Structure 1
């Protein structure tokens, strides 16, 4: 059972999102919060598997709340659920440790897939957001590709293979099944890749994988 913290300052939005989440028998909303500070305190008290946070909330905005939850509640994946897909919001969310960025305008199945992915340790971006992240490099893309290839040059062949699968959005269990490895070994490979690339999370690693051409 995936245990979810749902934080949004609008009660009607919370009710709608809760209805979508609990339609999946494998997801349970264990606590709700109406502002960012309450969300942090709820996460620390209930230790959910996923914190699903709106961005614009009183007392503490969702981005700051996400950073604090990532820092103080190990094992809790963080996903933003918002109306706003501005690049500054996406960049801050990902740099702060969030591994999911979902839009309220998206399909309900997208929300469920995102929560399941973040709970499993994978990353998930709404397709519209992912497209903007990838396209956002503009004219710098070729240069970034060269830099990314250089960054991945120090990785072993197996680490590069794992990075490519992280970039494709696979969770650790899925990577283990694909490569015929035990999950603990995959976790060690992922940690080593993050350290060598000097990135904070799987989303940032996935971007490097895309830039380096490692994603099929």
Structure 2
């Protein structure tokens, strides 16, 4: 088992820490984290499935394969994240990273008029930029989620959130994203990110989010 620790440590550190282009600070890349997790999983599987005589070799082989798989996904999402940040800089759309998943947060004030599911004309270029990246990085699934504030009744907010989500999904389809690759869902007012007791909070809650997840 000592070999297990050495293999995992070596493979986890094989990708050096990098300079974050947005904060200027050193960080461990997501591809490195993914390699470490993959190495550990591969090593454990190798140890559990091999015979006693072949266990050390199986641990090392499993760790190497796991690191390559985990690091590959992280590196792929790293590149997609950078492409999205570059194209969406100054657009008002936030790009967030959660492990190997990406989330694009599109505020309601720049995407739709109040109470409407019609996309604002000046937001088409932003969605076109998103579509360019999504067409380049095809190995990700897309969930388009609509959210509202708490003004109005639950039923109307639910309907509005669904219509807005489908508006974005349909526009992406018209821009060349296969409709089967994306799903649309409305959450109404159920998942606020800020307090609905203030105008600023309600503005943050009115949003559409694109959740991008790697196909594994």
TM-score normalised by the shorter chain: which range applies?
under 0.3
Give the TM-score normalised by the residue count of structure 1: 0.27
* Bigger Cα Rg: 2
Q: Name the TM-score, length of structure 2 as normaliser.
A: 0.27
